[in-house]
Structure 1
Amino acid sequence: MQFKWYGNQTFCDIFPDLYAKEAIKNVKVSESLQGNGLVPLWKWNWSESLSVNEAQQLTELQGLFDGFSLHNNNHDQWRWIPDSNGLFTVKSCYTYLLDLRQVELQDAHVLEAIQHLWKSDVPSKVNVFDWRLLLNRLPTRATFHHHGILTSHHELSCVFCFQQAEDEKHFFFSCPFSKGVWNTVLSWLGTSLQTGVEGRDHFLLFGDFLKMKDKGRVRYLVWLATTWNIWNLRNKVIFKGNISDVSSLLKTIKLHFLLWFTNLYESKTCTPFPFWCLNLMSCILST
């Protein structure tokens, strides 16, 4: 009665009245159920007579074992329920998850941005992070509040400016600190971007700055390096007490970009790091 034979609950939790009158509390199913399943024989040790309601519960309990038979010579084993043969495979798990999925239609621009994102050669954790960013699925403070994890409004403020609640749009694109970061990055690129652009549009416009036939895989590296490091700095401010500083963050962004870029063009990249910091576009074109 104390084992999980049915779903995620034990029989003693499903039928507490019966459990209270069972004399042997740790009785096993194999000790109570005998026979071959077609003609089950039940053995109970009640401490007192069952009421009418409890007798009905007993009928329900025994009904759960209709057609069930115990094989005393066989050991217990795990069985993967979603597959008819009881064996777990990645394919069967994938199929099972697809059956459970909830269809959510995405904007065409979001899909376009995601397609470009997955073609970028960056560490997988960065791709997954920015994929969540484009879908507004990051664990921001606003998200925690929506799920009831953070309940105080004092806990929702952006860690950089403390002026608004921390959601994706504000944190990455509207916060004064983040705007300052983007302005320095754009200055490094030698270009500018219209104000008020956010999310997937911001991502796609950044790609247009490097729209070159032979540089398709690096078009979004600057954007990915910027968002990734802004988020990392946010976590360091929260958990380590770091200070928000645009100039030091820009150095980290440049370093990440160069590391990812050289992974693609290692044999062709010989320009010293200081030159990359001064004129990014010229260095890319010369590679």
Structure 2
Amino acid sequence: MGCWANIVRHLEGVEIDGVTFKSCLRSKLGIGDKIMFWKDIWVGAVPLQDRWPVLFRSDLKKNDNVRDRFTSEGDIAVLNTDWVMDLTSVEGISEAHDAGMLLHQIKFSGNKDAWVWEPDKNGVFSVAAVKKWLRGGRLTHGISAMKWEKWLPIKVNFFVWRLRLDRIPTRSALLRRNISMPSCVCPLCETGIETAQHLLLAECIFAAEVWSRVHRWCRIVPNYNNSILDLLNLKDVSLNSKWEQKLIRGVFMITCWVLWKERNNKVFNSSKPRVVEVVASVKAFSFFWFKHRTRFKDVVWND
């Protein structure tokens, strides 16, 4: 099964605030060759297989498209009568009557079949629209969405995304997964237990000195946050413009990424980390990416 088939299969089971993914996607009837008669929403509010379960169970052509179910008589499309119906029960008779009422004046536009995304006011279906819907559900349930900074490389954004989910392989995280470790001590300060919060916030003495110098370079008052989320949301940081917020947030994300790189360098290469070199790397990466990945090409280095 391909990538997109797996994605669609997963989304079909997603439900946010009682609204399913499938109910958000409505078919707009054109010539009817791309819309499944029973399984897509093209008339009414639900798929016809859910509206008429008795008829669906007894039908022999469950995968027909809409066009296959109708014959044209002038401008009117007439429902074919060669499908198998169970009319021996009250439910079957009721559903057959409802089908006759609903489908007796179906008209084909002659255009290509189209899809309408109900949550979007313009009805436009796109990957961005689906992502917005999924994020909206997470926000409703109190989980804030990850804000990716476009002026940073994907590797930094991806690392911070994993950091927010507590999915980086710190020593304490590896122990929770029953992976044997010789020590749980933070490799940078060699005092506290290595968790993501300890390693990348002010709990680590080494990280605390790095953050102090980064704050001083950014000309903002040092603020030692209680959580990664507070750090990335710039809690208690007063900034004037949108681009100031994006810049400072990006610098903080780079700082987390550089600290993690320095940690790995010591663990795997036995390096001797120095605060001044870590801060220099933060400044260099920040300047280079901001200058070359934003519209501010004229920015100059001023340490």
TM range, normalised to the smaller chain?
Answer: 0.5 to 0.7
Cα displacement (A) at 1:207: 9.1
The 8 Å contact of residues 223 and 236 in structure 2, kept in 1 or not, is answered as no
CA contact (8 A) 1:229 1:253 kept: yes
- 2:144 is paired with a residue whose SS is helix
TM-score, structure 1 as length reference: 0.56
Deviations 1:76-103 (A, max 9, x none): xxxx3xxxxxxx3x22121344578899
Aligned-pair CA distance for 1:234: 0.5
The answer to whether the 8 A contact 1:207-1:219 is kept is no
Paired-residue identity, %: 23
- TM-score, structure 2 as length reference: 0.53
Tell me if the contact between 1:206 and 1:220 (Cα under 8 Å) persists in the aligned partners.
no
Q: For 1:125-140, list aligned pairs within 5 A.
A: 125-140=155-170
Question: What pairs with 1:1-287 in structure 2 (closer than 5 Å)?
Answer: 80=1, 88=2, 90-98=3-11, 111-112=144-145, 114=146, 117-150=147-180, 152=181, 154-173=182-201, 174-205=203-234, 208-215=237-244, 217-265=246-294, 268-271=297-300, 273=301, 275=302, 277=303
Give a deviation string over 1:96-132, Cα, whole Å, max 9, x none: 44578899968977515x1xx3144211111010011
Q: Give the 3 Å change call, closer, same or farther, for CA 107–199 of structure 1 in structure 2.
A: farther
Q: CA deviation at 1:191?
A: 2.0
Higher helix share: 1
More strand as a share of residues: 2
**Inter-partner Cα distance in structure 2 for 1:109 and 1:184:** 33
Structure 1 spans left out of the alignment, 5+ residues: 1-79, 81-87, 278-287
Residue 220 and residue 167 in structure 1: after superposition, are their counterparts in 2 closer, same or farther (change >3 A)? same
Alpha-carbon distance in structure 2 between the residues aligned to 1:268 and 1:238: 37
**CA deviation map 1:231-280 (0-9, x unaligned):** 00001001111111000111100000001110234664252x3x1x2xxx
How far did 1:214 drift? 4.5
Determine the structure 2 residue equivalent to 1:47: none
Q: Give the structure 2 partner of residue 43 of structure 1.
A: none
Q: Is the 8 A contact 1:233 1:244 kept in 2?
A: yes
Native 8 Å contact 2:216 2:222 kept in 1: no
Cα 1:121–1:252 change in 2 (3 A) is: same
Structure 1 counterpart of 2:153, which letter? P
> Residue type of the partner of 2:166?
N
Mark the CA change 1:238 to 1:145 in structure 2 (over 3 Å): closer, same or farther.
Answer: same
- Structure 1: which amino acid aligns with 2:148? W
On the 8 A contact 2:197/2:227 being kept in 1, the answer is yes
CA RMSD of aligned residues (A): 3.0
Change (3 A) 1:201 1:255: same
Q: Return the index of the structure with the highest Cα Rg.
A: 1
What's the CA shift for 1:224? Answer: 1.2
What amino acid is the match of 1:246? V
Provide the aligned length of Structure 1 versus Structure 2. Answer: 182
Q: Is the CA contact 2:186–2:193 (under 8 Å) kept in the aligned structure 1?
A: yes
Distance 1:156 1:218, change over 3 A: same
Cα contact 2:151–2:294 (8 A) shared by 1: no
CA distance in structure 1 between the aligned counterparts of 2:140 and 2:205, rounded to whole angstroms: 28
